[in-house]
Chains A and B, each alone.
Chain A
Amino acid sequence: MQEQIKNHTKYYFSSVINSYSQIFFSDNRWFGILLLLASFIDPYTGVSGLLAVIITALFTKWFGFNNEQMRSGAYGFNSLLVGLLLGVHFKLNLPFFLILVLVSLLTLLATVSIASLTWKNKIPFLSLPFLIVAWIILLSARNYSALGLSERGIFTINELASLGGAGLVNFYQQINSFPIPLFLEVYLKSLGAIFFQYNILAGLLIATGLLICSRIAFSLSLIGFLTGYFFFYYVQGNVTEMQYSFIGFNFILSAIALGGFFLIPSAKSYLLVILITPLIGIFISAFSNFFNIYQLPIFTLPFNCIVMLMLLVLNLRSETKKLDLVLLQQFSPEKNLYKHHNRLERFKNDTYFHIHFPFFGEWFVSQGHEGKQTHKADWRYAWDFVVTDEMKKTFRIPGTAVTDFYCYNLPILAPAAGYIINIIDEVEDNAVGKVDTEHNWGNTIVIKHSEYLYSKISHIKKHTFMLPVGSYVKKGDVIAYCGNSGRSPEPHIHFQLQATPFVGSQTLKYPIAYYVRHQYGRYFFHSFDYPEENQAVSKIFTTKMLREAFYFIPGVKLNFNVTTSPLSPLPGERGDSRQAGGVRWEVFVDAYNQSYIYCHTTKSSAYFVNNETLHYFTDFIGDKKSLLYYFYLGAHKILLGYYQDMELTDHLPIVNFYSGFSKVIQDFIAPFYIYLNADYKMKFTKIDDLMHPTQIEISSEAISKVGRMEKRKTEFILTVKDNKLSSFTVTEGDIIITAECIG
């Protein structure tokens, strides 16, 4: 019972708060509460708005609409606007409340139905439900004399005096009489007008909240408003619209929506805002003239039209041209931007199917993409591989027979799992130096990996195919042996990816998932890259122990004993000793199949991916002083195969790494230039035994940089022992945190 009440309270609380913050495209609770307070500057309006949301939340449950949509505020904010509107326009009496209930219901129905239509086209419904309901109620109310028109908007001071006495009136007048430029006054009042509070105080509150919540949204609101304001000024438009009906909020909302919320904030999106704003001005004038006939206000109609139009159109492009739509809404322009950057840097390749080299050991690319010899025109995205010795020779003396060539008769592996769909197996090997142009490809195998992705390997030795057409092969299975058939003067493997199943199909530019390049006796890690001519390469082999140590499947529990030295709580957490002692982690998987480590001690989550070659973290939510946060940084990207001294690098998302003043400044200019960097490096430093290792040491570091200047360096040492994570050490300046895994 108690649990039920708690759940109910949570539902209504979230629904109300999020409905407020949603109006400014945010999910920040504090901002929501601030907006709620701002709406209560005219208490009757505030009450009416609040009631409308609660009624809507009730109806949502009653009908059984998607509770999550209500909880997130998506179903609530239109009702809130309608409620505020009614509160401003009409006197509060009994018939008013009846109408409020009915109108809230109507808004919910309008919201749900309009959402179902717009979401199909991947556009938001914005405040369209509010507009429709508002017009309906304003037109119909003319016939209901029980609903008295309120005069509150007109005699604000009288009302304030009745509420808070002389003190409040003085405060209000002080603020109002504060000498501020006209445009700023109009800006603030326009902000307030979004909540039907046509005063500077409300505007100030909202502006402050906006600034705290999002620097980008704040700067966009100013840019949008000023552009619109000066456009009106320049074309000598009807400035009264701006000064008395504060219709300028259309500029503000559109600027935030297009500049940073639905699009990734960038110089281009800012430019778009400046370009589009005059259009909104034109819409405002046009709609005003039209709706004046019916004596209806246009509210946010221009904003709705422009934003929906833009989003609908932007969705239909074939290229994003650096004007990217937000795919996974974070409800904060900053988060959208930083995570987008991080995704581009880190996960741009996540959609590729993992293709690996079709051979064991170190091979040499004798012809790469767009090669000089044969990789031309439609067949330019192919590779030729041979085996060479230290003199870069491909054969042993005398090199007159195919059997003298190092790669001849070496096993060829399946580059990825798939079905064998085509095999040619009747071409004899050529003598060295001869080519068989009649059977261009020689003996060939085509494997289907997925729709529109096939791999083709050619010049195979006759009668060495291990499996017939139709067989399923796993990644790394031996499928045939290298030969010298077809247009091949010396034994080699021809490897290409293609979108169609035929021998001779056009090639497809498609990267090799992970591989190691060998140079000067050192290893270099490549991910989703294209091996180039004259590079020596090999495929990645993973180490069982590392695979097992990072095998975090749902249900895995990790407990740590944490000690810090010098004896103190974690850095920056003086006096708070949550971390000292034990830390409990557990692995879960969410509804979207994203795995994450959850820290029971600090209620933090670190999202990760394990693709059998790499373990990497994708996101972190929670306490940035927790051990899990340090683990998120230190094990940001771990290769699951031991390669001595091979370095892996990555970028840490700055939204998860920085805070404080430098981040605030960065936020303002982030759409144009990101000067804060956070780099990640990882390498294996120790192994006790290459063959059957029992202990591997991984060292990594997270370096924060301003421009190119190194600011802070945090070093990590991860020890894996007997197939398990055994200890984790963080060194930051003179503070050392040691966590021992105790099962």
Chain B
Amino acid sequence: MKKLQYERPVIQRLNTGVMNKFGTRTEYAPVTHIEGNAVKDLIEKYGSPLFVISQRVIEQTYRDANRAFKTRYPKVQFAWSYKTNYMNAVCNVFHKMGSWGEVVSGFEYQKALNNGVPGNKIIFNGPDKTEEELKSAIQNNSMIHIDHLDELYLIKELATEMKARPKVAIRVNMDTGIYPMWDRFGFNYENGQAWDAINKIMLTDKIDLVGLHCHIGTFMLAPSAYGVAAAKLSDLALGIKKKFKKNIQYIDMGGGFASKNTLKGSYLQGQDTSPSFDQFAEAITTAILNAGFVEDELPLLILETGRALIDEAGSLLGTVISNKRLSDGRRATIMDFGVNVMFTSFWYDHKISPAQEFSQYTEDAVLYGPLCMNIDVIRENVTLPPLKRNDHVVVHTVGAYNMTQWMQFIALRPAIVLIDLDEKAHVIRKRETLSSIESEEMMPKHLKEFKL
């Protein structure tokens, strides 16, 4: 018989009264393995904390999304949103499956080029594109999504200067019935700014308007908003056709699809509330198909969804540093990872599972990170079995944004491992060392030596 594990005693208050309809919810099914790799072994080999990405989950999610759109619309193209996770290995998983690249800065643009994405399959978004970056994008025949008039004027000048005809789209913002309305990017649909920009482009021969772009928000829980956006963009495209006899080649619906994470303050679990790809696809494709395009002239539908494609493929493995009691008697557990590597814990109540067996007793706890900063809270309230020092936990659905928004603050950033389809682990980013932090640092000569 296996030796029973010691678990410290827990005092639990008995609740009287009616049970709520969900019962007492716990999250304590242990997750001992990820894609056939024992959590314990992974941590032993690659250190703790550790990001783990599952290639299988990425591919499956991508195929689900692809199927949802391609069975509803004839021409669909995904473009991998670099900012969501620009680990080159992750990007290449997407590129291998047919995704183009979508970047929002010069360095991301360079990254996409280095990964081997052809220039004409990179979409360059964002409000900040320098003259040099624009020049490079024009040279590579990339699709440049114009955010503001100053950028439009600059591109026009560059086109004349370079004797090239840049391919551009304009980003359009609009009221889709959701709050907050993202009106700081691109040109507004309702007040005519979008038409103003379109006219300015169409009346010059120097720029080729190939597409229309919008990105109505982030972590959208209402597919209907996409329906409204798609209808408005289609209306613009048909208007351009009518006014200038020009077919718009693509409509880019941006991203913003919600992943299965649970937003803070949400009553229900993200698993239950987040719309599926099919729901988004239905809203978008129905709007475009019913907009009145001739079948032959249906624009290509581009999707830049990032979060919904990668979030579930990422997990964060961590280790308990210590347990303590707070002044009000609540239990606190200190983990070796905090908001420094898990930026998204500011928005989500991440699902956290212990990585080893335990009994059925649970206790409410606060989960803290390792930083000596008061804000370093991972979960304000989580029901977990009692954890001991050196126990491991798995944080789920962390694939999006964490590996691009993490900070090197107090602690060094952990390694990232990708588990391939044969359940083999590959390090795709090494754990940082002191030298990786200091490699860009310079020391003025007069400060080099001192005596204490």
Given contacts A411-B285, A478-B289, is CB(A359)–CB(B64) below 8 Å?
Answer: no
Q: Supply 16 further A-B pairs (C-beta < 8 A) apart from A360-B70, A361-B74.
A: A361-B70, A387-B71, A389-B60, A389-B63, A389-B67, A396-B64, A407-B71, A411-B72, A411-B286, A476-B295, A547-B296, A688-B120, A689-B121, A691-B250, A691-B300, A692-B210
Task: Determine the distance from Cα of A689 to Cα of B117 in the docked complex, in whole angstroms.
Answer: 12
Minimum-distance CB pairs A-B, first 6 = A361-B71, A361-B70, A476-B295, A692-B249, A410-B71, A691-B300
- Among B63, B77, B276, B278, which residue has its beta carbon within 8 angstroms of that of A390? B63
Q: Are B77 and A691 in contact (CB under 8 A)?
A: yes
**Residues in B lying within 8 Å of A, measured CB to CB:** 60, 63-64, 67-68, 70-75, 77, 120-121, 167, 210, 249-250, 276, 278, 282, 285-286, 289-290, 295-297, 300
Min CB distance B130 to A, Å, is 26
Closest-by-CB residue of A relative to B289 is A478
By a CB distance below 8 angstroms, the chain B residues around A475 are 295
Q: Is A90 an interface residue (CB 8 A)?
A: no
By a CB distance below 8 angstroms, the chain B residues around A359 are 71
Q: Is A600 an interface residue (CB 8 A)?
A: no
Min CB distance A409 to B, Å, is 7
Task: Determine the distance from Cα of A637 to Cα of B411 in the docked complex, in whole angstroms.
Answer: 65
- Inter-chain contact total with CB atoms closer than 8 Å: 63
By a CB distance below 8 angstroms, the chain B residues around A541 are 74-75
Q: Are B249 and A361 in contact (CB under 8 A)?
A: no
- Among B67, B74, B250, which residue has its beta carbon within 8 angstroms of that of A387? B67
The number of residues on chain A lying at the interface, defined by a beta carbon within 8 Å of a beta carbon of chain B, is 28
Q: Are B77 and A362 in contact (CB under 8 A)?
A: no
Closest-by-CB residue of A relative to B281 is A410
12 contacts between A and B (CB under 8 A): A362-B70, A387-B71, A389-B63, A389-B67, A396-B64, A406-B68, A411-B72, A541-B75, A547-B296, A688-B120, A691-B300, A692-B250
Question: Residue-by-residue, is A691-717 near B (CB-CB < 8 Å gives 1, otherwise 0)?
Answer: 110000000000000000000000000
Q: Is A522 an interface residue (CB 8 A)?
A: no
By a CB distance below 8 angstroms, the chain B residues around A407 are 71
Given contacts A387-B67, A541-B74, A692-B249, is CB(A478)–CB(B290) below 8 Å?
Answer: yes
Within 8 A of B (CB), among A353-368: 359-363
Min CB distance B251 to A, Å, is 12
Task: Determine the distance from Cα of A702 to Cα of B67 in the docked complex, in whole angstroms.
Answer: 38
Task: Determine the distance from Cα of A387 to Cα of B72 in the docked complex, in whole angstroms.
Answer: 11
Closest-by-CB residue of A relative to B247 is A544
Task: Determine the distance from Cα of A692 to Cα of B167 in the docked complex, in whole angstroms.
Answer: 11
Closest-by-CB residue of B relative to A391 is B60
Task: Determine the distance from Cα of A361 to Cα of B250 in the docked complex, in whole angstroms.
Answer: 18
Q: Are B71 and A689 in contact (CB under 8 A)?
A: no
Task: Determine the distance from Cα of A389 to Cα of B295 in the docked complex, in whole angstroms.
Answer: 27
Min CB distance B93 to A, Å, is 15
By a CB distance below 8 angstroms, the chain A residues around B75 are 541
**Residues in A lying within 8 Å of B, measured CB to CB:** 359-363, 387, 389-390, 396, 406-407, 409-411, 474-478, 541-542, 544, 547, 688-692
By a CB distance below 8 angstroms, the chain A residues around B167 are 692
Task: Determine the distance from Cα of A362 to Cα of B76 in the docked complex, in whole angstroms.
Answer: 13
By a CB distance below 8 angstroms, the chain B residues around A692 are 167, 210, 249-250
Q: Are A360 and B64 in contact (CB under 8 A)?
A: no
Q: Are A689 and B120 in contact (CB under 8 A)?
A: yes
Task: Determine the distance from Cα of A474 to Cα of B121 in the docked complex, in whole angstroms.
Answer: 33
Closest-by-CB residue of A relative to B286 is A411
Q: Are B278 and A360 in contact (CB under 8 A)?
A: no
Given contacts A541-B74, A691-B249, is CB(A361)–CB(B67) below 8 Å?
Answer: yes
By a CB distance below 8 angstroms, the chain A residues around B278 are 406, 409
Task: Determine the distance from Cα of A544 to Cα of B297 in the docked complex, in whole angstroms.
Answer: 8
Task: Determine the distance from Cα of A476 to Cα of B296 in the docked complex, in whole angstroms.
Answer: 10
By a CB distance below 8 angstroms, the chain B residues around A411 are 72, 285-286, 289
Task: Determine the distance from Cα of A691 to Cα of B118 in the docked complex, in whole angstroms.
Answer: 13
Closest-by-CB residue of A relative to B294 is A474
By a CB distance below 8 angstroms, the chain A residues around B120 are 688-689
Q: Are B67 and A360 in contact (CB under 8 A)?
A: no
By a CB distance below 8 angstroms, the chain B residues around A406 are 67-68, 71, 278
Task: Determine the distance from Cα of A477 to Cα of B292 in the docked complex, in whole angstroms.
Answer: 11
By a CB distance below 8 angstroms, the chain A residues around B63 are 389-390
Task: Determine the distance from Cα of A512 to Cα of B167 in the docked complex, in whole angstroms.
Answer: 39
Closest-by-CB residue of A relative to B299 is A691
By a CB distance below 8 angstroms, the chain B residues around A690 are 77
By a CB distance below 8 angstroms, the chain A residues around B64 are 389, 396
By a CB distance below 8 angstroms, the chain A residues around B70 are 360-362
Q: Are B210 and A360 in contact (CB under 8 A)?
A: no
Task: Determine the distance from Cα of A409 to Cα of B283 in the docked complex, in whole angstroms.
Answer: 11
Closest-by-CB residue of B relative to A692 is B249
Min CB distance A363 to B, Å, is 7
By a CB distance below 8 angstroms, the chain A residues around B73 are 360-361
Closest-by-CB residue of A relative to B77 is A691
Q: Are B71 and A363 in contact (CB under 8 A)?
A: yes
Task: Determine the distance from Cα of A474 to Cα of B289 in the docked complex, in whole angstroms.
Answer: 14
By a CB distance below 8 angstroms, the chain A residues around B300 are 691
By a CB distance below 8 angstroms, the chain A residues around B296 are 542, 544, 547
Q: Are A474 and B71 in contact (CB under 8 A)?
A: no
Task: Determine the distance from Cα of A691 to Cα of B278 in the docked complex, in whole angstroms.
Answer: 23
- Among A362, A390, A396, A544, which residue has its beta carbon within 8 angstroms of that of B71? A362
Min CB distance B286 to A, Å, is 8
By a CB distance below 8 angstroms, the chain A residues around B72 are 360-361, 410-411
Q: Are B74 and A360 in contact (CB under 8 A)?
A: yes
- Among B60, B71, B250, which residue has its beta carbon within 8 angstroms of that of A360? B71
By a CB distance below 8 angstroms, the chain A residues around B276 are 396
By a CB distance below 8 angstroms, the chain B residues around A387 are 67, 71
Min CB distance A616 to B, Å, is 20
Q: Are B74 and A474 in contact (CB under 8 A)?
A: no
Task: Determine the distance from Cα of A690 to Cα of B75 in the docked complex, in whole angstroms.
Answer: 10
- Among B60, B210, B282, B295, which residue has its beta carbon within 8 angstroms of that of A474? B295
Min CB distance A723 to B, Å, is 12
Closest-by-CB residue of A relative to B282 is A409
By a CB distance below 8 angstroms, the chain A residues around B295 are 474-477
Min CB distance A478 to B, Å, is 5
Closest-by-CB residue of A relative to B276 is A396
Closest-by-CB residue of A relative to B66 is A361
Q: Which of A406, A474, A475 has the most CB of B within 10 A?
A: A406
By a CB distance below 8 angstroms, the chain B residues around A547 are 296
Task: Determine the distance from Cα of A387 to Cα of B290 in the docked complex, in whole angstroms.
Answer: 23
By a CB distance below 8 angstroms, the chain A residues around B71 are 359-363, 387, 406-407, 410
Q: Which of A361, A390, A406 has the most CB of B within 10 A?
A: A361
